[in-house]
């Protein structure tokens, strides 16, 4: 039976790490849609496309030569034959990605590609038809509202800032949190102008990871999967 698990949430909620582990545990493909927006941002900058030019960005995204590797053990992001998995995680990309994420035409194109990946994994693809865990901002509401399992993974702002600071700086002291604040709070504020990912839509289960570690959060999401589709973790 094919299973599609959709996971949305704000920055620092742990959705990427959790979704990868859920996919690994269930033997499903893993689609990081946030990486697609980052790859699109990298491509625009690499091609010299002004991010303030709405039409030029949308055109560049439509032409984006992107290949997403869906193995949760080692997902890859390749643009025009180049592995950009490290490049798209830089501060430069983080500071510019909302310009692409809030471009409605670019969102439409990337959403179309995301649905194509999900449909392919239902029918075969990397997972041989077992399904996919897709995570992002609008997967539960726009990209895959018909997913078998829909989860909003959230956490308090303090918890999210601390997690992102540890991820980027190796510590969650005051200086690291201050340096991380813009990436988490400002980006969420920008993205929330075009998509709602702070409050669960009807039929979406909220998992609050504020007081949970990674394994506890993975287990919580797996329980939602089991309750929704009866699939054992």
pLDDT tens per residue across span 99-157: 999 999 999 999 999 999 999 999 999 999 999 999 999 999 999 999 999 999 999 88
Two tokens at 111? 């959403």
111 annotated ligand-binding residue = no
Residue 232 belongs to a domain: no
**27 is an annotated ligand-binding site residue:** no
- The secondary structure element, H or E, covering residue 178 is helix 174-181
127 is in an annotated binding site: no
Is 9 a known ligand-binding residue?
yes
* Count of structural domains, the chain: 1
**How far, in Å, CA of 54 to CA of 106, rounded?**
9
Q: What is the CATH number of the domain that holds 36?
A: 3.40.50.300
How confident is the model at residue 231, as a pLDDT? 59
The pLDDT of residue 204 is above 80: yes
Q: Is residue 15 part of a domain?
A: yes
Residue 11 among known ligand-binding residues: yes
Residue 34 above 70 pLDDT? yes
- Does 130 map to a domain? yes
Q: Could you tell me the CA-to-CA distances from 228 to 59, 91, 99, 183 in Å, in that order?
A: 39, 38, 36, 33
Tell me: is residue 98 an annotated ligand-binding position: no
Positive or negative, the CA dihedral 66, 104, 45, 181 is negative
| Structure-token pair, residue 25 | 């545990």
Helix (H) or strand (E) holding 76: strand 76-79
Query: Is 15 flagged in the annotation as binding?
Result: yes
Range of the domain at 152: 3-226
């Amino acid at each position: 039976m094919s299973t599609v698990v959709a996971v949305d949430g704000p920055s620092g909620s742990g959705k990427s790490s959790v979704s990868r582990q859920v996919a690994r545990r269930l033997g499903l493909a893993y689609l990081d849609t946030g990486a697609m927006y980052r790859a699109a941002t990298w491509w625009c900058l690499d091609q010299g496309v002004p991010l303030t030019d709405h039409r030029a960005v949308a055109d560049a995204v439509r032409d984006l030569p992107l290949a997403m590797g869906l193995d949760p053990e080692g997902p890859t992001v390749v643009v025009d034959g180049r592995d950009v998995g490290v490049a798209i995680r830089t501060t430069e990309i983080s500071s510019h990605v909302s310009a692409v994420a809030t471009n409605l035409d670019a969102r439409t194109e990337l959403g179309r590609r995301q649905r194509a990946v999900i449909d392919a994994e239902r029918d075969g693809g990397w997972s041989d038809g077992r399904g996919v865990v897709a995570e992002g901002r609008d997967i539960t509401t726009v990209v895959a509202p018909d997913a078998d399992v829909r989860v909003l993974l959230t956490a308090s702002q303090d918890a999210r800032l601390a997690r992102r600071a540890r991820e980027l700086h190796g510590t969650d002291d005051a200086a690291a949190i201050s340096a991380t604040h813009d990436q988490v709070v400002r980006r969420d504020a920008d993205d929330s102008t075009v998509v709602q990912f702070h409050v669960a839509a009807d039929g979406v289960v909220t998992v609050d990871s504020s007081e949970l570690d990674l394994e506890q959060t993975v287990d919580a999401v797996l329980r939602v999967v089991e309750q929704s589709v009866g699939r054992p973790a």
